[in-house]
Amino acid sequence: MHKLGLKRLIQNSVGTLIRQLGAGVLQLFTVIVIARSLGPEGNGQFAIALLLPTILYQFLAMGMPTANAHFISSNNVSVRTAFDTSVRWFTFLVPVGLAIGALSIWLAGSQWFPGVASNTLWLALAIYPILLLQVFLVSIFQGLQNFKAYNIVLLLQPAIALVLSLALVAIGLGNVTAMMAAYLVGALVALAASYLMLYHQLYRTASIDSEIQSYGQRIIRYALKSHLGIALAFFNYRVDVYLLNLLGDTAGTGLYVIATQMVEKLWLLSAAVGVVMLPLLSQLASEEEKRRKLTPLMYIFVLSLTGLAGIATGILAVPIISMLFGADYADSALVMQLLLPGVVAWSGARVLAHDIAARGKPELNIYMNLGVLLINVIGNILLIPKYGMSGAAVATTVAYILFSVQMTFVYTKVAKTNWKSVLVDFIAFNKEKIGSLLS
């Protein structure tokens, strides 16, 4: 068995996971404060309004975050060049996103975001530039494999938002718009911290315009392909929420959002592993045998642990919802249980998607995400009118499971991996083999 560098991968993944768990706990407390203070209807309004800036930055990031992580980690671009290129893209993309968001609110706000006040939507739109620049800066930390800084920034936004949300509730200002303002301030503080932590490294060297132009061309060739796959994956995560609000009601959306926010905490492990794996796999581009061994092992590891956590979550769903959110959110427990199989299946698929992207074949992720998105949309449209929240959960779970099966099949073809031998190796691991790998 080759030395795979698992020690470094595990250390970085565990460190990232611990801090993401911390961020997850902070976010959970914020969700509880918002849900209890706003009620199901207000919570639904908050979630739908927040979709506006989130969709804009996910769609308009144009693959820059993935490109920064990939090219910096493989020593194909300097930190300064990546930063300056990101800033140039940012100055172009901000007015584009604000114009799209403004037109959406002016022309179709009541139709596209039913039940959400226009002032809340405008405030939510102001969050878009902050999120866009933040994701650019954070990707530089990822490319440098500076996960300490990466994770500090990850903790800041939910920490600030939680403190402000508690303060707003304490002084009697716990409304949807005020909670959106708390989110905005938290995002702004995290952005400022990101820049300060990068500052000294950025200005060690001068910017060279020709390098920026060259990097921009590479981004167009590589990142735009991966970007569409990431954007489609995000739409898969949120299309059920949007369609439920559009075809159902805001109160039902508020209940459904609580369920999704709870079960998606199971993705913390796959997210931590993915953050670390993308730059590492890019480094291993010339060592195919190591990649072929490493990715399946992490896939089995992530899927197994997430599956065990999913079983526990399903068993405890009713008391968890009752204890944290109260009787008003009791119906969220069934939705959690219906979503769990799909969420667990998707967690393993995310690991394989990172490997495919690191191989320079992000277009394969695009095709798979597009197909599953269509299934997800059709399923939600068919099931929501008759079954409401439960229908949305079933449609989403089926789509996620199909995506996982498809991703597994495609990965075996791309990596030329024999899953039978992988499973045998994984089961047969003994102390000597693990010792030889942890180097």
Element of type H or E holding 138: helix 128-144
Compute the distance between CA of residue 322 and CA of residue 342 in angstroms, rounded to an integer: 23
Residues 247-293 pLDDT 10s: 888 889 999 999 998 998 898 888 777 766 666 666 665 666 777 77
AA identity, residue 241: V
Q: Is the dihedral of CA 75, 155, 328, 336 positive or negative?
A: positive
Residues 322-339 pLDDT 10s: 999 988 999 999 999 999
Taking the model in full, what pTM does it have? Answer: 0.74
The answer to whether the CB of 136 falls within 8 A of the CB of 68 is yes
Of 377, 382, 314, which is closest to residue 343 (Cα–Cα)? 314
Residues 218-250 pLDDT 10s: 776 666 666 677 777 788 888 999 899 888 888
Residues 413-435 pLDDT 10s: 887 776 665 565 555 544 444 45
How many other CB atoms are found less than 10 A from the CB of residue 9?
20
Cβ neighbours of residue 439 closer than 8 Å, sequence gap 6 or more: 3, 5, 7
Residues 166-224 pLDDT 10s: 999 999 888 999 999 999 999 999 999 999 998 877 776 666 677 777 777 777 666 66
Compute the distance between CA of residue 255 and CA of residue 259 in angstroms, rounded to an integer: 7
pLDDT higher than threshold 80 for residue 372 = yes
The answer to whether the CB of 94 falls within 8 A of the CB of 129 is yes
- Report the SS3 class of residue 324: helix
- What pLDDT score does 434 carry? 46
